[in-house]
Structure 1
């Protein structure tokens, strides 16, 4: 049996250690990517841009730009159930509050200023340049794909 030189043994050990380190980092990166929903997103109806940013333990999605208004439609949150909040402008309004990451999606609530109602929401990274936003009322859910503007 041939003896290995100390330098070769060290090199093989270093390569093995790097392989283990790389293998252990890959799942963390995939999770980080799935969790990262930061940035501006164009809604499915192309009527506004919602930007996600870290807030508390999760993310908040605010309407940063209204691209198309309903003719004669309100510019403030007139349907809010709280009368004190009805003068808030739609632009800048916090639409989504996500507080926990489960499975492959962020979970929280979405506020619909058109109805003044809040619903369960799930947000996850979809294809590159897309997030899927799924709003649910009881067991009925509707999903939309939002894209990079």
Structure 2
């Protein structure tokens, strides 16, 4: 009886270990220049990223930076800090997140994007037009 109780107790306490979230991509990341930090979250089966921190959140006039390069005039009054720049990614279950887009507020352009986890602390972000070969990769580091 003691053996059964011990096995049952071990099973109960080990459940949280096995049910932990395997979404290593979730959390806060910093771009290579250190200018911005993005928080990646999950809604349903899709992943999104919001620009939650800017090294320089204000423009030359001391006002909060706005999305002035956006091709949609109606969106040019949005603040850059707090902007969702990663949208609609799906996981292939092997540390690769694809079929999403990344928005660059500096240029006002949106690119197709693929993200790949490298260990626990690095995230390769590849933005491209058309096919992945025609793109550029940045490595973001996890914010601790």
Q: TM-score range by the shorter chain?
A: 0.7 to 0.9
What value does the CA root-mean-square deviation take over the aligned residues? 3.0
**Where do 1:78-117 residues align within 5 Å?**
78-102=68-92, 104-107=95-98, 108-117=100-109
Rounded Cα–Cα distance in structure 1 between residues aligned with 2:96 and 2:87 = 13
Which of 43, 49, 61 in structure 1 is aligned with 2:49?
61
Taking the aligned partners of 1:77 and 1:104, their CA distance within structure 2 comes to 31
* CA offset digits 1:25-52 (Å, max 9, x no partner): x9x98xx64x431111011111011000
Kindly report which structure 2 residues correspond to 1:7-22, keeping only aligned pairs within 5 A, or say none: none
Query: Secondary structure at the residue paired with 2:124?
Result: strand
Larger Rg: 1
CA contact (8 A) 1:98 1:106 kept: no
* Corresponding position of 2:111: 119
Contact 1:119 1:136 in 2 (8 A): yes
Rounded to whole Å, the distance in 2 between the matches of 1:95 and 1:42 is 13
Q: Determine which of 33, 40, 50 is the counterpart of 1:45.
A: 33
Cα contact 2:34–2:55 (8 A) shared by 1: yes
Alignment TM-score, normalising by the size of structure 2:
0.73
1 CA distance for matches of 2:27 and 2:95?
18
8 Å contact from structure 2 (residues 46, 89) kept in 1: yes
Query: What is the CA distance between 1:68 and its match in structure 2?
Result: 3.4
**Greater helix fraction, Structure 1 or Structure 2:** 1
Gaps spanning 5+ residues in structure 2: where? 1-17
Structure 1 residues without counterparts, runs of 5 or longer: 1-25
Structure 2 residue aligned with 1:77: 67
- State the 4+ residue runs in structure 1 displaced beyond 4 angstroms: none
